[in-house]
A and B are shown apart, each in its own frame.
Chain A
């Protein structure tokens, strides 16, 4: 079944490249081609997940592109392929144009993700890792005519690539450690190299997963179209940051410090970005902050070795958040705004869409019996095992998730009066683009599928029932949630939601712009870089000027040697005859000065050869 494994990468890659290159020649067929490719990729992914094949291909090293499907991959590969298919169906139904470029980039991205989750060695992993970043850049800037999109893409790309440098360093350290680039062998490194590898991996994972302090790039990434946010900036690319840490969790644990660091950064992100999410008034910004916060639980899980909980959280979050982003996109298209005040009561206007959104938001809130409640609690159970403080921090993150979810539900299902409805239509809609006032029926299909998934995939983390899943990813020994823990988190969620419905959410001014993370990065990294670049460029000009001055000095010296030059030129030996002839040619053809230099140089040449002959 190696063919399925190769197809799951090759198929979307090929289709993507064809779509990008053929461009407007096949614009009319682009959507059909793309959906077909995505569907076949899903078939291949399921086949590969069942058959669990492995293949070794050369890429830089003899097995640099080793590919394999193990338990973790077998879970994620079909998940990603399914979300891709649903998102592409949605985008086709919405009629995003130019379709060839959009679908081409999305499929190319898909190939990078499938390569990431199947790669068993660093060269291929790093390659696909960076291609994800580049396609993310191109997709954020999909509407390149708008001034804000491309700079946003650049911020996202530059921040994630900064973190990616960690993987380059890790690959270098792996060479010194002498165990090769196979992911499974990285934890065997010893001495300081293990720590370099762990630090590099941690950095790369945190950057992609939009954890602190890198989270702000995800805010900027929201400039991209909603299907892009649904796939890249929640279900797949950001999730890959979590995947990397889960995959290389043995490295984190072996280092001693990287595991706890990851766990605490994850918990801190769940709390801090939870507060950011509560404060947002733009739906997509709220969802973005909540994505970073929810990925915080995955990173926490990777830090304490809770693979089962972390994987379940990735899957449950992928379904839930892809759904919410797509709904945000539906409303943005329909009413031309994604600001919460414009979306008051919008659930009642399109009830089916509103209902799917409700399911997603309830799952995100951590209410029983939906998926994120179970998945998150599986992680928290392991956290309690590791450290009560970590458990408490995790619970706090969970409470914040309930709060921001409740905020969305309260807005979307609000019951504005007639006058208020009219005011919203009048003053709040069509502020970002011209709304169509329509929801094409076709777009609801992927929404319904995702909503069902958001409800059901929690089965992966139900204590007792989850046994086959845990066996599959070899996590049988990890702690499971007890009934009391599940009840406790459910009670907290219900209390928080009730509180938010009654009292509303508090507003933290500092959290509105994501605690100024981007401004801090500007001040600490970007501005110093540009300032030093300008200083160096000025120095370079001065260096040039100094050298040209010395050139003029040479000019005078050469002129003085002109007489000598003619004398010597006639007596040049066999070797230099050619050079002298060229010098003469130069004199005739050009300024004349060149010949002087050449002749002067010829003298040096002759002198050198004379020296040579004497010394012999």
Chain B
């Protein structure tokens, strides 16, 4: 079942890729139908999948390369299932958003279906080789999205994105090989690696392997100082490309922390937790401050992503610190990190869609060229206000749930992490300043004649904001999904 969920988009995508004569309208509808069907399958799977012996749900395992200790091994748990569902939703939203796409819609649909398979596959992979394969293919897919459908200096930005994240993935691969060598018996199987840990007796080697993995994941996340690829990639990416990049591809990095780095190298993670915490705090404050003075709306959102991913890194770092009574706080931090991944996916997805509206209408992302936009485009202003408040962590939206858990969990293990708290204040200021400059006051410059949201745009935005509000008000179901897995993870970190 899980394999069907993962590869259904790829199959349809391949079919679309070869059917040259297919009308554009049909291609778009096939795309939307496929994403909807895939999401439906995922939801069915969420409610019906049985739990296997290792605690994984919907587990599948087929021999692949036994001589390398690698197998085709899939399965989901409380950390990955929310991300799979997020991916399912995000691709539906992308398909809705593109219902009027005129620029090569058929290849675009095929490409996004390919990307969907890589995202779903990565979050379901239980084998490092498989994980790496999906990780790299996602980079390739995103390269073509940016280079093929982007604007501005898209070739260059795509290339920078590609080289940077690909080099990061090589560091990751090096780390994976290290993990393989460090485990007895040698294996790439993630479940086995998590159960026993690698390099349990050799801290120096474990430290190097962890460094390779952390660098690889930090590039993808991205954290300071490995973030240089993100702002140009976002600025020049097409709207839905930015959405997938921010909502899902960034999550591959943070997901790697909780899925690979922490459980497989628990001793090294504990020893180096303070470095991770420091990277997290710097990312939080740096991302927020740099975003504060951006005039390009996409760059601004990109830097707030660094800030938001910084919270996740801070939380996973803090979860590695053991203390007298910290088990509860560690679980809070991890649950917060996992919630933040979903929350950021929904909210930043919505923000990039909104940014896309600016470009679609006027071709300019420059905040300074707008003013009083709420008059010609009230619905657009309303959604922007909602997304801005959601992103700054206002209660009632998912971001608050995540950030409350992250902060209480992090402060609960490492009290001085409260120095990251100003992050939520700076993001508040920057979003409200941007909102004021663009939407309020006198209607002027590019705001004149700005067309308000179309129904398909409203639909796509409504899906994301409603989900964020649902999680924000009734976080119970999501947390119930995450918490058992967070408990297991904390258990594996405890010697």
Contacts and interface: CB of A to CB of B under 8 A. Distances in A.
Grouping DSSP codes into helix (H, G, I), strand (E, B) and loop, the A interface class, with mixed when no group exceeds half, is: helix
A138 to B, nearest CB: 8
B491 interface: no
Given A60-B475, A168-B407, A176 B286 contact: no
Interface in A363-402: none
B400 interface: yes
Contact of A169 (B325, B421, B442): B421
B421 A165 contact: yes
Given A130-B394, A169-B421, A144 B439 contact: yes
Nearest to B426: A529
A126 B404 contact: yes
B395 A127 contact: yes
Given A60-B401, A144-B441, A533-B289, A175 B408 contact: yes
Interface in A134-156: 134, 137, 141, 144-147, 149-151, 153-154
A567 B102 CA distance: 41
B418 A145 contact: no
A612 B173 CA distance: 11
Contacts of B200: none
A206 B140 CA distance: 53
Nearest to A166: B421
B293 interface: yes
A567 B401 CA distance: 54
Contact of A554 (B163, B378, B425): B163
Interface string B458-477: 00000000000000000110
B396 interface: yes
Contacts of A616: 186
A470 to B, nearest CB: 34
A145 B442 contact: yes
B372 interface: yes
Given A60-B475, A178-B325, A543 B433 contact: no
A307 interface: no
B411 A175 contact: yes
A131 B479 contact: no
A531 B442 CA distance: 28
B441 A145 contact: yes
A172 B412 contact: yes
B428 interface: yes
A597 B165 CA distance: 12
Contacts of B396: 127, 131
Contacts of A171: 404, 407-408, 411
B1 interface: no
A615 B181 contact: yes
B441 A169 contact: no
Nearest to A131: B395
B147 interface: yes
A28 B151 CA distance: 45
A166 to B, nearest CB: 9
B329 interface: yes
B395 A161 contact: no
A171 B404 CA distance: 9
A172 B163 contact: no
B33 interface: no
A605 B409 CA distance: 39
Contacts of B231: 544
A168 B166 contact: no
Nearest to B137: A582
A198 to B, nearest CB: 15
A154 B428 CA distance: 9
B380 interface: no
Contacts of A196: 415
Interface stretch (B154-162, B249-257, B268-276): B154-162
A59 B477 CA distance: 11
Q: How large is the interface on B (under 10, 10 to 19, 20 to 34, 35 or more residues)?
A: 35 or more
Interface stretch (A243-251, A435-443, A479-487, A534-542): A534-542
Grouping DSSP codes into helix (H, G, I), strand (E, B) and loop, the B interface class, with mixed when no group exceeds half, is: helix
B48 to A, nearest CB: 25
B83 interface: no
Interface string A515-545: 0000000000000011011101100100110
Interface string A579-591: 1001000100111
Given A144-B441, A147-B441, A612 B68 contact: yes
B194 interface: no
A601 B389 CA distance: 42
Given A127-B400, A130-B400, A601-B170, A589 B144 contact: yes
A483 to B, nearest CB: 48
A157 interface: yes
A608 interface: yes
B436 interface: yes
Contact of A60 (B136, B292, B404, B439): B404
A123 interface: yes
B475 A551 contact: no
Tell which of B290, B326, B332, B476 has the most Cβ of chain A within 10 Å.
B290
B184 interface: no
Tell which of B294, B375, B378, B436 has the most Cβ of chain A within 10 Å.
B436
18 contacts: A60-B475, A127-B395, A141-B436, A147-B442, A153-B432, A161-B424, A169-B418, A175-B409, A176-B412, A176-B413, A532-B289, A537-B294, A544-B228, A586-B140, A586-B144, A591-B159, A612-B177, A612-B181
Q: What 10 A-B pairs are tightest by C-beta distance, nearest first? A: A172-B411, A175-B412, A127-B395, A144-B440, A533-B289, A150-B436, A533-B292, A172-B408, A165-B421, A533-B293
Given A131-B394, A151-B436, 20 more contacts: A123-B404, A126-B395, A128-B395, A137-B432, A141-B436, A144-B439, A144-B441, A145-B440, A172-B408, A172-B410, A176-B329, A537-B293, A544-B232, A551-B163, A586-B140, A590-B155, A591-B155, A597-B166, A601-B170, A612-B180
Interface of A: 23, 58-60, 123, 126-128, 130-131, 134, 137, 141, 144-147, 149-151, 153-154, 157-158, 161-162, 165, 168-169, 171-176, 178, 196, 529-530, 532-534, 536-537, 540, 543-544, 547-548, 551, 554, 579, 582, 586, 589-591, 593-594, 597-598, 601, 604-605, 608, 611-612, 615-616
